[in-house]
Amino acid sequence: MGDNGMSLFALSLEQLTQLKQSIEEELQGLQGALQQLQISRNKLTNSKNALEKLSKTPEGTPMLVPLTTSLYVPGETAPLDTVLVDVGTGYYIEKSLKQASAFLDRKMALIEQQAANVQSAAQFKHKNLSQTVEVMNRKLIEARGALTAGSSGGGTAI
């Protein structure tokens, strides 16, 4: 069965080829989404590790503070009661260390759930792709058989 519940055998070889290309494009999109989710999960994991490490760092410890991705200035740690948490679209909220850690845990759990959903959709698409390729192969074998039977039916050889 295809995506719309119609039999793949009812489709022509050209339609099956188009369906196969469409499924492959959808799979590429799902793989891209999985990669983005993996990147997000890694960033959150790094943030959580940095939060834990920073919470154990004594006050006055020298450090380099990032201003941009390539510009750092010298600084030192201050008493760490609260941290600023990026909640998206340029908004930051001041939270306690415990609240920030819980926030990161929730975000990571959400990303894991989304990744599981995307993975499930990708597995379904892989199954559809396999079925489509199988039907295409059967139709090609049938077409070759019909050509072979038609050409050996008393025609003259050139």
What does the domain layout of the chain look like in residue ranges? 59-125
pLDDT of the residue at 2: 47
Distance between CA atoms of residues 12 and 2, nearest Å: 13
pTM tops 0.85: no
Question: Is 21 in contact with 129 (CB distance < 8 Å)?
Answer: no
CA 87 to chain centroid, in Å, comes to 22
Class of 59-125 in CATH:
mainly alpha
pLDDT of the residue at 153: 57
Q: Which neighbouring-strand residues pair with 152?
A: none
Closest of 18, 27, 16, 29 to residue 6, by C-alpha: 16
CA distances from 54 to 41, 68, 96, 153 (A): 20, 19, 13, 83
- Cα angle: 54, vertex 52, 37; to 5 degrees: 115
Segments of the chain scoring below 50 in pLDDT: 1-3, 5, 158
